[in-house]
Structure 1
Amino acid sequence: MKPHAKPIIFAKTVRTSVALIVVTGVLSGCATVSASAKHSSPDLTPPPLVVSVGDSIMKGNGLIPEEAWPALISRTDGFSGMNLACNGEGFVAPGDPLDCNGPFGDLATRVALLHPTTLLISGSSNDFGIDNPTLLAATVSALANSRRALPTTQIIALSTVWGDTPPPAQLADVDQQVRDATLRVRGVFVDIGQPLMGHPEWLQADDVHPTAEGQQHLAAAISAALAARNISLGEK
Protein backbone atom coordinates (compact mmCIF):
# COMPACT_ATOMS: atom_id res chain seq x y z
CA MET A 1 0.00 0.00 0.00
CA LYS A 2 1.24 3.50 -0.79
CA PRO A 3 2.15 5.86 2.10
CA HIS A 4 -0.69 7.91 3.49
CA ALA A 5 -1.31 11.13 1.56
CA LYS A 6 -0.28 14.41 3.15
CA PRO A 7 -3.03 16.29 5.00
CA ILE A 8 -5.41 18.07 2.64
CA ILE A 9 -4.99 21.84 2.57
CA PHE A 10 -8.31 23.63 2.59
CA ALA A 11 -8.24 26.09 -0.30
CA LYS A 12 -10.55 27.70 -2.75
CA THR A 13 -13.96 26.34 -1.65
CA VAL A 14 -15.36 23.86 0.82
CA ARG A 15 -16.72 21.79 -2.10
CA THR A 16 -13.21 21.31 -3.49
CA SER A 17 -11.89 20.20 -0.12
CA VAL A 18 -14.73 17.76 0.40
CA ALA A 19 -14.21 16.34 -3.08
CA LEU A 20 -10.54 15.79 -2.39
CA ILE A 21 -11.35 14.06 0.88
CA VAL A 22 -13.90 11.78 -0.80
CA VAL A 23 -11.59 10.86 -3.70
CA THR A 24 -8.67 10.23 -1.39
CA GLY A 25 -10.83 8.05 0.83
CA VAL A 26 -12.15 6.03 -2.11
CA LEU A 27 -8.67 5.44 -3.52
CA SER A 28 -7.32 4.47 -0.12
CA GLY A 29 -10.23 2.09 0.35
CA CYS A 30 -9.58 0.44 -3.03
CA ALA A 31 -5.93 -0.01 -2.19
CA THR A 32 -6.83 -1.55 1.15
CA VAL A 33 -9.33 -3.98 -0.38
CA SER A 34 -6.87 -5.02 -3.10
CA ALA A 35 -4.09 -5.66 -0.61
CA SER A 36 -6.46 -7.49 1.70
CA ALA A 37 -7.84 -9.63 -1.12
CA LYS A 38 -4.33 -10.49 -2.22
CA HIS A 39 -3.41 -11.81 1.22
CA SER A 40 -6.72 -13.52 1.97
CA SER A 41 -6.69 -15.93 -0.97
CA PRO A 42 -4.65 -18.93 0.22
CA ASP A 43 -3.68 -21.65 -2.21
CA LEU A 44 -6.21 -24.42 -1.60
CA THR A 45 -4.50 -26.90 -3.92
CA PRO A 46 -3.70 -30.02 -1.87
CA PRO A 47 -0.09 -31.23 -1.89
CA PRO A 48 0.81 -34.26 -4.01
CA LEU A 49 -0.10 -37.59 -2.39
CA VAL A 50 2.54 -40.32 -2.36
CA VAL A 51 1.48 -43.83 -1.31
CA SER A 52 4.32 -46.12 -0.21
CA VAL A 53 4.04 -49.91 -0.43
CA GLY A 54 6.81 -52.07 0.94
CA ASP A 55 8.09 -54.22 3.77
CA SER A 56 9.01 -53.72 7.42
CA ILE A 57 12.05 -51.61 6.56
CA MET A 58 9.86 -49.10 4.74
CA LYS A 59 7.31 -49.34 7.56
CA GLY A 60 9.95 -48.41 10.13
CA ASN A 61 9.55 -51.54 12.24
CA GLY A 62 10.53 -50.88 15.85
CA LEU A 63 10.18 -47.11 15.45
CA ILE A 64 7.36 -44.59 15.50
CA PRO A 65 5.79 -43.94 12.06
CA GLU A 66 7.28 -40.45 11.84
CA GLU A 67 10.80 -41.94 11.92
CA ALA A 68 10.36 -44.15 8.83
CA TRP A 69 12.04 -42.85 5.69
CA PRO A 70 8.81 -42.16 3.72
CA ALA A 71 7.68 -39.76 6.46
CA LEU A 72 11.10 -38.10 6.55
CA ILE A 73 11.10 -37.50 2.80
CA SER A 74 7.54 -36.19 2.82
CA ARG A 75 8.56 -33.42 5.21
CA THR A 76 11.56 -32.32 3.15
CA ASP A 77 10.00 -32.73 -0.31
CA GLY A 78 6.60 -31.22 0.41
CA PHE A 79 4.10 -33.99 -0.23
CA SER A 80 1.40 -35.76 1.73
CA GLY A 81 2.32 -39.36 2.43
CA MET A 82 0.41 -42.57 3.13
CA ASN A 83 2.65 -45.46 4.21
CA LEU A 84 0.99 -48.84 3.58
CA ALA A 85 4.16 -50.88 4.13
CA CYS A 86 3.66 -54.11 6.08
CA ASN A 87 5.88 -56.43 8.11
CA GLY A 88 6.88 -59.55 6.19
CA GLU A 89 5.23 -58.48 2.95
CA GLY A 90 6.59 -58.87 -0.57
CA PHE A 91 5.32 -59.37 -4.10
CA VAL A 92 4.76 -63.04 -3.20
CA ALA A 93 5.25 -63.11 0.58
CA PRO A 94 1.86 -62.55 2.27
CA GLY A 95 3.00 -60.42 5.18
CA ASP A 96 1.83 -60.21 8.78
CA PRO A 97 -1.62 -61.87 9.11
CA LEU A 98 -2.54 -59.31 11.77
CA ASP A 99 -1.62 -56.43 9.48
CA CYS A 100 -1.80 -56.76 5.69
CA ASN A 101 -2.23 -60.56 5.46
CA GLY A 102 -1.42 -60.55 1.76
CA PRO A 103 1.23 -59.65 -0.81
CA PHE A 104 1.74 -56.22 -2.39
CA GLY A 105 -0.72 -56.97 -5.17
CA ASP A 106 -3.62 -57.22 -2.72
CA LEU A 107 -3.22 -53.52 -1.97
CA ALA A 108 -3.95 -52.38 -5.53
CA THR A 109 -7.62 -51.63 -4.84
CA ARG A 110 -6.85 -49.83 -1.61
CA VAL A 111 -4.17 -47.72 -3.29
CA ALA A 112 -6.50 -46.86 -6.18
CA LEU A 113 -9.13 -45.49 -3.79
CA LEU A 114 -6.56 -42.99 -2.52
CA HIS A 115 -5.91 -41.54 -6.01
CA PRO A 116 -2.21 -40.89 -5.35
CA THR A 117 0.01 -38.69 -7.45
CA THR A 118 2.80 -41.25 -7.00
CA LEU A 119 2.93 -44.92 -6.04
CA LEU A 120 6.27 -45.73 -4.43
CA ILE A 121 6.95 -49.46 -4.17
CA SER A 122 10.04 -51.42 -3.19
CA GLY A 123 11.49 -54.85 -3.74
CA SER A 124 11.82 -56.97 -0.60
CA SER A 125 14.07 -59.67 0.77
CA ASN A 126 10.86 -61.30 2.03
CA ASP A 127 10.62 -62.76 -1.48
CA PHE A 128 13.93 -64.60 -1.15
CA GLY A 129 13.52 -68.27 -2.07
CA ILE A 130 10.87 -67.60 -4.72
CA ASP A 131 11.92 -68.75 -8.19
CA ASN A 132 12.39 -65.97 -10.73
CA PRO A 133 9.45 -66.81 -13.06
CA THR A 134 7.02 -66.92 -10.14
CA LEU A 135 8.34 -63.70 -8.68
CA LEU A 136 8.25 -61.93 -12.04
CA ALA A 137 4.66 -63.04 -12.68
CA ALA A 138 3.53 -61.83 -9.24
CA THR A 139 5.36 -58.53 -9.62
CA VAL A 140 3.97 -57.91 -13.11
CA SER A 141 0.47 -58.74 -11.89
CA ALA A 142 0.70 -56.39 -8.89
CA LEU A 143 2.02 -53.46 -10.91
CA ALA A 144 -0.27 -54.09 -13.89
CA ASN A 145 -3.32 -54.03 -11.60
CA SER A 146 -2.09 -50.79 -10.09
CA ARG A 147 -1.52 -49.27 -13.52
CA ARG A 148 -5.01 -50.21 -14.72
CA ALA A 149 -6.54 -48.62 -11.64
CA LEU A 150 -4.23 -45.59 -11.76
CA PRO A 151 -3.52 -44.79 -15.43
CA THR A 152 -1.94 -41.39 -14.75
CA THR A 153 -0.20 -42.09 -11.45
CA GLN A 154 3.60 -41.95 -11.38
CA ILE A 155 4.83 -45.45 -10.45
CA ILE A 156 8.32 -45.62 -8.98
CA ALA A 157 9.92 -48.88 -7.87
CA LEU A 158 12.98 -48.87 -5.63
CA SER A 159 15.67 -51.51 -5.36
CA THR A 160 15.69 -53.79 -2.32
CA VAL A 161 17.27 -52.52 0.88
CA TRP A 162 19.71 -54.83 2.65
CA GLY A 163 21.59 -54.42 5.93
CA ASP A 164 25.19 -53.69 6.85
CA THR A 165 26.72 -56.73 5.11
CA PRO A 166 27.20 -57.35 1.38
CA PRO A 167 23.83 -58.44 -0.08
CA PRO A 168 23.28 -62.07 -1.12
CA ALA A 169 23.19 -62.97 -4.80
CA GLN A 170 19.41 -63.43 -4.87
CA LEU A 171 18.86 -59.77 -4.09
CA ALA A 172 20.01 -58.93 -7.62
CA ASP A 173 17.46 -61.45 -8.96
CA VAL A 174 14.66 -59.82 -6.96
CA ASP A 175 15.65 -56.38 -8.22
CA GLN A 176 15.74 -57.64 -11.82
CA GLN A 177 12.19 -58.95 -11.59
CA VAL A 178 11.00 -55.66 -10.07
CA ARG A 179 12.83 -53.66 -12.75
CA ASP A 180 11.36 -55.70 -15.60
CA ALA A 181 7.82 -55.52 -14.21
CA THR A 182 8.06 -51.77 -13.58
CA LEU A 183 9.16 -51.00 -17.12
CA ARG A 184 6.24 -53.04 -18.49
CA VAL A 185 3.76 -50.67 -16.81
CA ARG A 186 5.53 -47.46 -17.85
CA GLY A 187 7.03 -47.01 -14.41
CA VAL A 188 10.52 -46.01 -13.33
CA PHE A 189 12.95 -48.28 -11.51
CA VAL A 190 15.46 -46.52 -9.26
CA ASP A 191 18.50 -48.30 -7.84
CA ILE A 192 19.26 -46.71 -4.48
CA GLY A 193 22.35 -48.83 -3.75
CA GLN A 194 22.92 -50.17 -0.23
CA PRO A 195 23.06 -47.13 2.08
CA LEU A 196 23.30 -49.24 5.26
CA MET A 197 26.23 -51.42 4.17
CA GLY A 198 29.21 -51.18 6.49
CA HIS A 199 27.23 -49.47 9.24
CA PRO A 200 26.05 -51.97 11.87
CA GLU A 201 25.45 -49.02 14.22
CA TRP A 202 22.55 -47.96 11.96
CA LEU A 203 20.68 -51.23 12.64
CA GLN A 204 18.56 -52.26 15.59
CA ALA A 205 19.47 -55.24 17.77
CA ASP A 206 17.90 -57.65 15.25
CA ASP A 207 20.53 -56.64 12.65
CA VAL A 208 17.71 -56.23 10.09
CA HIS A 209 15.73 -53.08 10.73
CA PRO A 210 17.30 -49.61 10.66
CA THR A 211 17.44 -47.41 13.72
CA ALA A 212 16.05 -43.88 13.55
CA GLU A 213 19.49 -42.76 12.37
CA GLY A 214 19.56 -45.54 9.80
CA GLN A 215 16.18 -44.42 8.47
CA GLN A 216 17.58 -40.91 8.12
CA HIS A 217 20.45 -42.21 6.01
CA LEU A 218 18.00 -44.24 3.92
CA ALA A 219 15.89 -41.13 3.35
CA ALA A 220 18.94 -39.15 2.26
CA ALA A 221 20.09 -41.88 -0.13
CA ILE A 222 16.64 -42.32 -1.66
CA SER A 223 16.18 -38.56 -2.10
CA ALA A 224 19.58 -38.35 -3.80
CA ALA A 225 18.81 -41.29 -6.10
CA LEU A 226 15.48 -39.75 -7.12
CA ALA A 227 17.07 -36.35 -7.70
CA ALA A 228 19.75 -37.95 -9.89
CA ARG A 229 16.93 -39.19 -12.12
CA ASN A 230 15.16 -35.80 -12.04
CA ILE A 231 12.20 -37.39 -10.25
CA SER A 232 10.12 -35.13 -8.03
CA LEU A 233 7.66 -36.41 -5.43
CA GLY A 234 6.55 -33.12 -3.98
CA GLU A 235 6.62 -29.35 -4.24
CA LYS A 236 10.12 -28.51 -3.02
Structure 2
Amino acid sequence: MFHLVVIGLLALAAPAMAAGDEPGYRLVLIGDSLSAGFGLSDEQALPAALGRALAARGLANVRVINAGVSGDTTAAGLNRFDFSVGPDADGVIIALGANDALQGQPPAQARANLAAMIDRAQVRGLDIVLAGMLAPINLGETYRQEFDTLYPALAAEKSVPLYPFLMEPVALHPEFLQRDGLHPTAEGVERMAEPLADFLVEALFNPAEPAP
Protein backbone atom coordinates (compact mmCIF):
# COMPACT_ATOMS: atom_id res chain seq x y z
CA MET A 1 0.00 0.00 0.00
CA PHE A 2 2.82 2.37 0.90
CA HIS A 3 4.48 1.79 -2.47
CA LEU A 4 1.22 2.50 -4.28
CA VAL A 5 0.84 5.81 -2.44
CA VAL A 6 4.41 6.84 -3.28
CA ILE A 7 3.96 5.90 -6.93
CA GLY A 8 0.72 7.85 -7.04
CA LEU A 9 2.36 10.95 -5.57
CA LEU A 10 5.23 10.73 -8.03
CA ALA A 11 2.78 10.42 -10.91
CA LEU A 12 0.99 13.56 -9.77
CA ALA A 13 4.25 15.46 -9.31
CA ALA A 14 5.81 14.46 -12.64
CA PRO A 15 3.80 16.79 -14.95
CA ALA A 16 4.42 19.80 -12.70
CA MET A 17 8.12 19.04 -12.53
CA ALA A 18 8.34 18.66 -16.29
CA ALA A 19 6.53 21.94 -16.88
CA GLY A 20 8.69 23.75 -14.35
CA ASP A 21 11.85 22.41 -15.92
CA GLU A 22 10.92 23.59 -19.41
CA PRO A 23 13.94 25.74 -20.29
CA GLY A 24 12.38 28.00 -22.92
CA TYR A 25 14.79 30.76 -23.90
CA ARG A 26 17.41 31.58 -21.26
CA LEU A 27 18.55 35.20 -21.41
CA VAL A 28 21.38 36.04 -19.00
CA LEU A 29 21.74 39.61 -17.77
CA ILE A 30 25.35 39.95 -16.66
CA GLY A 31 25.99 43.20 -14.89
CA ASP A 32 26.64 45.01 -11.65
CA SER A 33 24.39 46.38 -8.90
CA LEU A 34 22.03 47.92 -11.46
CA SER A 35 21.04 44.44 -12.58
CA ALA A 36 21.70 42.62 -9.29
CA GLY A 37 18.99 44.73 -7.66
CA PHE A 38 20.93 46.67 -5.02
CA GLY A 39 18.60 47.55 -2.13
CA LEU A 40 15.71 45.60 -3.65
CA SER A 41 14.24 42.12 -3.44
CA ASP A 42 14.90 39.55 -6.15
CA GLU A 43 11.43 40.12 -7.58
CA GLN A 44 12.04 43.87 -7.77
CA ALA A 45 15.40 43.56 -9.52
CA LEU A 46 15.77 44.33 -13.22
CA PRO A 47 15.96 40.71 -14.49
CA ALA A 48 12.64 39.83 -12.82
CA ALA A 49 10.99 43.05 -14.01
CA LEU A 50 12.33 42.46 -17.51
CA GLY A 51 10.96 38.91 -17.50
CA ARG A 52 7.51 40.24 -16.60
CA ALA A 53 7.71 42.92 -19.28
CA LEU A 54 8.67 40.35 -21.91
CA ALA A 55 5.85 38.04 -20.79
CA ALA A 56 3.40 40.91 -21.21
CA ARG A 57 4.64 41.17 -24.80
CA GLY A 58 3.89 37.52 -25.50
CA LEU A 59 7.31 36.13 -24.59
CA ALA A 60 6.45 34.19 -21.45
CA ASN A 61 8.91 31.46 -22.51
CA VAL A 62 11.87 33.81 -21.97
CA ARG A 63 13.57 33.30 -18.62
CA VAL A 64 15.79 36.23 -17.64
CA ILE A 65 18.67 35.05 -15.46
CA ASN A 66 20.11 37.48 -12.90
CA ALA A 67 23.90 37.38 -13.22
CA GLY A 68 24.47 40.77 -11.64
CA VAL A 69 27.10 41.25 -8.93
CA SER A 70 27.21 44.54 -7.05
CA GLY A 71 30.49 46.37 -7.49
CA ASP A 72 31.60 44.47 -10.57
CA THR A 73 33.70 46.21 -13.18
CA THR A 74 34.12 44.99 -16.74
CA ALA A 75 37.29 43.18 -15.61
CA ALA A 76 35.37 41.30 -12.91
CA GLY A 77 32.61 40.49 -15.35
CA LEU A 78 35.09 39.10 -17.84
CA ASN A 79 36.71 36.94 -15.16
CA ARG A 80 33.41 35.27 -14.30
CA PHE A 81 31.80 35.40 -17.74
CA ASP A 82 32.00 31.69 -18.56
CA PHE A 83 30.69 30.73 -15.13
CA SER A 84 27.92 33.33 -15.00
CA VAL A 85 26.74 32.81 -18.56
CA GLY A 86 26.32 29.07 -18.20
CA PRO A 87 26.18 26.40 -20.89
CA ASP A 88 22.37 26.53 -21.09
CA ALA A 89 22.26 30.22 -22.03
CA ASP A 90 20.67 31.22 -25.33
CA GLY A 91 21.37 34.93 -25.14
CA VAL A 92 23.19 37.49 -23.02
CA ILE A 93 22.78 41.16 -22.18
CA ILE A 94 26.16 42.63 -21.24
CA ALA A 95 25.43 45.53 -18.88
CA LEU A 96 28.78 46.44 -17.36
CA GLY A 97 30.98 49.50 -17.21
CA ALA A 98 29.26 51.81 -14.74
CA ASN A 99 31.76 50.96 -11.99
CA ASP A 100 34.68 51.39 -14.37
CA ALA A 101 33.52 54.96 -14.92
CA LEU A 102 32.81 55.63 -11.24
CA GLN A 103 36.37 54.49 -10.47
CA GLY A 104 37.85 56.50 -13.33
CA GLN A 105 39.37 53.43 -14.95
CA PRO A 106 40.73 53.79 -18.50
CA PRO A 107 37.94 53.57 -21.08
CA ALA A 108 40.26 51.64 -23.38
CA GLN A 109 40.52 48.88 -20.79
CA ALA A 110 36.76 48.75 -20.32
CA ARG A 111 36.35 48.47 -24.07
CA ALA A 112 38.88 45.62 -24.26
CA ASN A 113 37.08 43.73 -21.50
CA LEU A 114 33.67 44.21 -23.12
CA ALA A 115 35.09 43.14 -26.49
CA ALA A 116 36.48 39.96 -24.94
CA MET A 117 33.06 39.14 -23.46
CA ILE A 118 31.37 39.69 -26.80
CA ASP A 119 33.97 37.47 -28.49
CA ARG A 120 33.31 34.66 -26.02
CA ALA A 121 29.57 34.95 -26.53
CA GLN A 122 29.91 34.98 -30.32
CA VAL A 123 32.09 31.87 -30.27
CA ARG A 124 29.30 30.15 -28.38
CA GLY A 125 26.68 31.33 -30.85
CA LEU A 126 24.74 33.32 -28.26
CA ASP A 127 22.42 36.19 -29.05
CA ILE A 128 24.06 39.34 -27.69
CA VAL A 129 22.89 42.79 -26.63
CA LEU A 130 25.34 45.39 -25.35
CA ALA A 131 23.83 47.82 -22.84
CA GLY A 132 25.52 51.19 -22.89
CA MET A 133 26.57 53.32 -19.94
CA LEU A 134 27.52 56.98 -19.58
CA ALA A 135 30.33 58.44 -17.50
CA PRO A 136 29.63 60.85 -14.61
CA ILE A 137 29.93 64.51 -15.53
CA ASN A 138 32.58 65.18 -12.87
CA LEU A 139 35.24 63.18 -14.75
CA GLY A 140 35.83 65.84 -17.38
CA GLU A 141 34.85 66.17 -20.99
CA THR A 142 37.80 64.22 -22.40
CA TYR A 143 37.10 61.17 -20.24
CA ARG A 144 33.37 61.36 -20.84
CA GLN A 145 33.80 61.54 -24.60
CA GLU A 146 36.13 58.54 -24.67
CA PHE A 147 33.97 56.47 -22.34
CA ASP A 148 30.57 57.33 -23.77
CA THR A 149 31.59 56.60 -27.35
CA LEU A 150 33.19 53.22 -26.66
CA TYR A 151 29.80 51.46 -26.56
CA PRO A 152 28.46 52.51 -29.97
CA ALA A 153 31.89 52.02 -31.52
CA LEU A 154 32.23 48.53 -30.06
CA ALA A 155 28.70 47.52 -31.03
CA ALA A 156 29.35 48.60 -34.60
CA GLU A 157 32.70 46.81 -34.71
CA LYS A 158 31.26 43.55 -33.36
CA SER A 159 27.90 43.85 -35.17
CA VAL A 160 25.81 43.46 -32.03
CA PRO A 161 22.68 45.40 -31.04
CA LEU A 162 23.30 48.35 -28.73
CA TYR A 163 20.80 49.48 -26.12
CA PRO A 164 22.17 53.02 -25.80
CA PHE A 165 21.85 53.79 -22.07
CA LEU A 166 20.49 51.38 -19.47
CA MET A 167 19.68 54.15 -16.97
CA GLU A 168 17.99 56.46 -19.47
CA PRO A 169 14.46 56.20 -17.96
CA VAL A 170 15.63 57.18 -14.45
CA ALA A 171 18.94 59.03 -14.77
CA LEU A 172 17.42 62.51 -14.62
CA HIS A 173 14.54 61.56 -12.34
CA PRO A 174 15.65 61.52 -8.69
CA GLU A 175 12.18 60.42 -7.62
CA PHE A 176 12.97 57.03 -9.18
CA LEU A 177 16.35 56.68 -7.49
CA GLN A 178 17.26 55.44 -4.03
CA ARG A 179 18.78 57.81 -1.50
CA ASP A 180 22.27 57.25 -2.87
CA GLY A 181 21.19 58.86 -6.14
CA LEU A 182 22.73 55.99 -8.10
CA HIS A 183 20.46 52.97 -7.86
CA PRO A 184 16.86 52.80 -9.05
CA THR A 185 13.92 52.22 -6.75
CA ALA A 186 11.51 49.37 -7.48
CA GLU A 187 9.38 51.79 -9.50
CA GLY A 188 12.49 53.00 -11.28
CA VAL A 189 13.39 49.45 -12.23
CA GLU A 190 9.95 48.98 -13.78
CA ARG A 191 10.54 52.13 -15.84
CA MET A 192 13.87 50.71 -16.99
CA ALA A 193 12.41 47.32 -17.89
CA GLU A 194 9.69 48.55 -20.22
CA PRO A 195 11.81 50.19 -22.96
CA LEU A 196 14.46 47.49 -22.63
CA ALA A 197 11.80 44.86 -23.26
CA ASP A 198 10.61 46.75 -26.34
CA PHE A 199 14.17 46.88 -27.60
CA LEU A 200 14.74 43.16 -27.03
CA VAL A 201 11.54 42.23 -28.85
CA GLU A 202 12.88 43.92 -31.97
CA ALA A 203 16.58 43.13 -31.57
CA LEU A 204 16.38 39.46 -30.55
CA PHE A 205 12.91 38.08 -31.04
CA ASN A 206 11.64 39.97 -34.08
CA PRO A 207 14.76 41.07 -35.98
CA ALA A 208 14.29 43.09 -39.13
CA GLU A 209 14.48 41.13 -42.35
CA PRO A 210 17.70 41.76 -44.28
CA ALA A 211 17.36 43.94 -47.31
CA PRO A 212 17.02 41.96 -50.58
CA distance in 2, matches of 1:126, 1:184: 23
- Amino acid of the residue matched to residue 98 of structure 2? S
Give the secondary structure class of the aligned counterpart of 1:223: helix
CA distance in 1, matches of 2:105, 2:46: 27
Q: Is the 8 A contact 2:35 2:45 kept in 1?
A: yes
Partner of 2:127: 154
Alignment map for 1:36-55 (pairs within 5 Å): 46-55=23-32
Question: Can you list the C-alpha shifts for 1:51-83, whole angstroms capped at 9, x where unaligned?
Answer: 111110111100001111221121232211211
Instruction: Quote how far apart the aligned CAs of 1:181 are.
Output: 3.4
CA distance in 2, matches of 1:157, 1:107: 17
Partner of 2:176: 202
Identity of aligned residues (%): 21
Partner of 1:19: none
Matched, 1:107 2:90: no
Give the secondary structure class of the aligned counterpart of 1:116: coil
Give the secondary structure class of the aligned counterpart of 2:181: coil
Instruction: Quote how far apart the aligned CAs of 1:182 are.
Output: 3.8
- Amino acid of the residue matched to residue 91 of structure 1? T
Matched, 1:132 2:107: yes
Alignment map for 1:50-89 (pairs within 5 Å): 50-77=27-54, 78=60, 79-89=62-72
Q: Runs of 5+ in structure 2 lacking a partner? A: 1-14, 55-59, 207-212
Q: Runs of 5+ in structure 1 lacking a partner? A: 1-39, 93-102
Partner of 1:144: 119
Q: Is the 8 A contact 2:132 2:162 kept in 1?
A: yes
CA distance in 2, matches of 1:121, 1:143: 8
Instruction: Quote how far apart the aligned CAs of 1:45 are.
Output: 5.7
Give the secondary structure class of the aligned counterpart of 1:113: coil
How many corresponding residue pairs?
Answer: 179
TM-score (norm 1): 0.64
CA distance in 2, matches of 1:168, 1:219: 30
Q: Is the 8 A contact 2:30 2:96 kept in 1?
A: no
Q: Is the 8 A contact 1:160 1:171 kept in 2?
A: no
Partner of 2:9: none
TM-score (norm 2): 0.71
Instruction: Quote how far apart the aligned CAs of 1:46 are.
Output: 3.0
Q: Is the 8 A contact 1:105 1:143 kept in 2?
A: no
CA distance in 2, matches of 1:162, 1:203: 17
Partner of 2:190: 216
Question: Can you list the C-alpha shifts for 1:6-63, whole angstroms capped at 9, x where unaligned?
Answer: xxxxxxxxxxxxxxxxxxxxxxxxxxxxxxxxxx9x9896310011111101111000
Q: Is the 8 A contact 1:192 1:221 kept in 2?
A: no
Q: Is the 8 A contact 1:60 1:67 kept in 2?
A: yes
